[in-house]
Amino acid sequence: MSGILAYLVAFLLYGLIGWHFWRTRWNAPVTSAGESGISSGWERYALLAPLVLHGYTLYESVFANGALSFGVGSAVSSIVWLTAMIYWLSGFFYRLEGLQTLVAPVAAVAVLLPLAFPSLRPLANTELPAFKAHISIAMLAYSLLTIAALHALLMAVVERRLHHPAMPSVLTNLPPLLAMETLLFRVIWVGFILLTLTLISGIVFSEEVFGQPLKFTHKSLFGFVSWGVFAALLAGRQFYGWRGRIAIRWTLAGFIFLLLAYLGSKFVLEVILQR
C-alpha cells in the first residue's frame, strides 16, 4: 500500500508543478522585462521532491524480488525520470523554464506506467558487465535525445509564434533562437556519442553471451536508422550549416526511430504478444 501511495504522491506533485508552470509561465503576462523568466528559489527545487519519489518507485519496480525486471513500463518511466533529472540539473546553468511545462506532465504519466504495464519476467544475464554497461549507456542516450526532442518542439513553437502579437510570457523570456539551437546541438552531440556506444556495447554484449554477432532484427534496424539520421543531421550542420526547421525535423525524425527501436519492440512483445 505504501508503494502505491508513493506512485500517487509523485503523480500528484508532478501534476501540480506542471499546472503551476503552465499558469505562471504560459498564461501570465509579462509585467516587467524578464520577470517571469527567472525561477524563484522554491520553484528551482520544487521538482526535486517528485524526482526522489519517482526514483524510489523505479527502484521498487526494477529491483523487485532481488532480480532486475525491466518491462516496457519501467523502461519508459526510467527514461523519463533520467530526462527530468538531467533537465533539473541543467536548469541551474541554462534558462529552461519552458521545458518544465512539458516535462512535468509527461513525468506524471510515466511514473504510473510500471503499475499499468508491470514486468512479465526478470531479465536474463544481468550479472554480465557488458549488459550493465549497455543498459546504463542506453538509458542516458535515450534520455538526452528525449531532451533534444522536447527542446526541438519548444523551438518549433517559438519559431511559429515569433511574430505573434500576444506570445506567452515564457516564450518571450526564453533565450534567443540561435542560443537555443546551439544548446540543442550540444545535447544531440552528447546523445549521439552515447547512442554510438549503445550500439557498440549491444554488439559486445551479443558476442559475450551468445558468441555471435548482433542479430539483424527490427529493433537493431530502427536503432541503426536512428543513428544514421542523427549522424546525417550533425554532418549537415557541420558542412552545410543546417539549422532552424531542418534541424528540428531531423531531430524529431531521429527520435521517432529511436522510440521504435527499443520501446516499440518492447511494447509489441510484452503488451500485445504477452511474451
Q: Per residue in 178-220, pLDDT tens? A: 888 988 999 999 999 999 998 888 777 766 555 555 666 777 8
**Residue type at 53?**
L
> Greater confidence, 268 or 241?
241
C-alpha cell at 254: 531521429
Question: What is the separation, in whole angstroms, between the first and last Cα of the chain?
Answer: 28
SS3 253: helix
Nearest to 80 by CA among 60, 64, 103, 61: 103
Distances (CA, A) of 106 to 194, 236, 246: 23, 31, 25
The pLDDT value recorded for residue 70 is 73
Segment 120-133 mean pLDDT? 68
Give the pLDDT band of residue 267 (cuts 50, 70, 90). Answer: low
What are the C-alpha distances in Å from 210 to residues 204, 205, 269?
A: 10, 8, 21
Q: What is the mean pLDDT of residues 132-138?
A: 80
**pLDDT category, 31, cuts 50, 70, 90?**
very low
Query: What percentage of the chain carries pLDDT values higher than 90?
Result: 27
- Residue-wise pLDDT for 62-121, tens only, equals 876 666 777 778 888 988 898 888 878 877 777 665 566 678 888 999 999 888 877 766
Calculated CA dihedral for residues 127, 133, 139, 141, nearest 10 degrees: -170
pLDDT at 5 > cutoff 60 = yes
Band of the pLDDT at 4, cuts 50, 70, 90?
confident
| pLDDT above 70: percentage of residues in the chain | 71
What does the alpha-carbon distance between residue 154 and residue 96 come to, in Å, rounded to a whole number?
A: 10
Does residue 42 have a pLDDT over 80?
Answer: no
Given a cut of 80, whether residue 226 has pLDDT beyond it is yes
Helix (H/G/I), strand (E/B), else coil: 160: helix
Q: Find all residues with CB under 8 Å of 23, minimum gap 6, and list them.
A: none
What is the sign of the dihedral through the CA atoms of 18, 69, 63 and 255?
negative
